[in-house]
Amino acid sequence: MRKLRHKKLYIPPLIWGKSGHIQTALYGKMGRVRSPHPYGHRKFITMSDGATSTFDLFEPLAEHCIGDDVTMVICPGIANHSEKQYIRTFVDYAQKNGYRCAVLNHLGALPNIELTSPRMFTYGCTWEFGAMVSYIKKTYPQTQLVVVGFSLGGNIVCKYLGETQANQERVLCCVSVCQGYSALRAQETFMQWDQCRRFYNFLMADNMKKIILSHRQVLFGNNVKKPQSLEDTDLSRLYTATSLMQIDDNVMRKFHGYNSLKEYYEEESCMRYLHRIYVPLMLVNAADDPLVHDSLLTIPRALSEKRENVMFVLPLHGGHLGFFEGAVLFPEPLTWMDKLVVQYANAICQWERNKSQCSDTEQMDADLE
């Protein structure tokens, strides 16, 4: 396919928009400004191991630009869900552009949904996302899919598509925003104080600890059939953990029986699967993202140079899932990221429609001859 060009430059707010830390802090603290409240229906799926996966389904609020039935299947960032403000803002915008949206709620992330098995979401587990996609395909047999992942969700959706060719059926395109591509490579940079990554690591680890401990009865209780490698001493180590790597090593990898943190990160990272994705793929990062070290960006850069279906978008500013817009001081409710994803999806849909029409015309000409 011929590579698409996005012509709208990202211009951050004048006073603070060129600081990746402020962009990231604003996203982390308040998500978005004046966030809408889209109305959706919560769906429940019982997984084979007894876990209860949930996702929220939002119907389109307008006709799609090409008049087709298109569903965005969305995977949020670490410990996030459909009620987060940046997800609500994006869903509302996508609905108004004619997209149905299905948003995965990471297992254990919703405070009002109890775990029903001793397992939580992990860095690269695609089971729940795959179950949501299967539900959408079965319920809406005519719909086509646009796959979207934010941060950790970007890793999950890319890994899902690359796991098997069948997962790419009826998929028009995929968009990944602000992911790091390789946890194995990222773990060393996450322990460095450069760009305050060690501080962000501590904050995210603290949040993960709170979520895990809120489910400790299900995960660590005496009457629970825990993974064989998960021991009571791991709960003690969890209390003292100050980094995501310590939590992953002592708890998360054991949900899936990995023998080491290295094995867990190697197997769960999407880097091993990116070359197996054949649908149009847009990988978006910000050069000033304090969470994603510059060395990790060689992965999408090299892939986009080798593969015609891959586009790598790297604005100078935006932070981690920020990309706020605004003239001077106050940010707009809608971000450049929201607009970019929808505009790319629209362009791919239009491209597919034109390609189909050209094929039909060529077939008619051939029949006439």
Q: Catalytic residue among 289, 293, 304, 317, which?
A: 289
Give me the chain's average pLDDT, please. 91
Burial letters 224-240, b for 16+ CB under 10 A, else e: eebeeebeeebbeebee
Nearest CA to 107 out of 230, 220, 248, 255 is that of 255
Q: What is the mean pLDDT of residues 197-206?
A: 95
Q: Residue 229's pLDDT is what?
A: 60
Please write the tens of the pLDDT for every residue from 141-191. Answer: 999 999 999 999 999 999 999 999 999 999 999 999 999 999 999 999 999
**Superfamily in which the 32-182+277-353 domain is placed by CATH:** Alpha/Beta hydrolase fold, catalytic domain (3.40.50.1820)
pTM passes above 0.85 = yes
Adjacency order of strands within the sheet including 171-177 = 41-46, 52-58, 100-105, 70-75, 144-150, 171-177, 281-284, 310-313
In this structure, the strands spanning 281-284 and 70-75 are: unpaired
Confidence of residue 363 (pLDDT cuts 50, 70, 90): low
DSSP three-state, residue 340: helix
Classify residue 260 by its DSSP letter.
S
Nearest CA to 224 out of 235, 213, 216, 214 is that of 216
320 is catalytic: yes
Confidence of residue 1 (pLDDT cuts 50, 70, 90): low
Nearest CA to 244 out of 297, 284, 197 is that of 197
Please write the tens of the pLDDT for every residue from 222-242. Answer: 766 666 567 777 888 999 999
151 is catalytic: yes
For residue 121, what are its two tokens?
């979401």
> Please, what is the end-to-end C-alpha distance for the chain in angstroms?
28
Q: Catalytic residue among 81, 293, 317, 320, which?
A: 320
Q: Residue 197: which residues within 8 A CB-CB, separation 6 or more? A: 189, 190, 191, 290, 291, 293
Residues of the chain above pLDDT 70, percent: 92
Q: Catalytic residue among 82, 151, 176, 269, which?
A: 151
State the span(s) of the chain assigned CATH 3.40.50.1820.
32-182+277-353
Greatest mean pLDDT among 32-41, 148-157, 325-334 lies in 148-157
Nearest CA to 162 out of 88, 269, 3, 34 is that of 269
Classify residue 310 by its DSSP letter.
E
User: Tokens 């390789």 — which residue?
Assistant: 182
Nearest-angstrom CA–CA distance, 325 and 342: 16
Nearest-angstrom CA–CA distance, 19 and 78: 22
Query: Which of 20-29, 163-172, 196-205 has the weakest average pLDDT?
Result: 20-29
Query: Which of 5-19, 48-62, 121-135, 280-294 has the weakest average pLDDT?
Result: 5-19
248 is catalytic: no
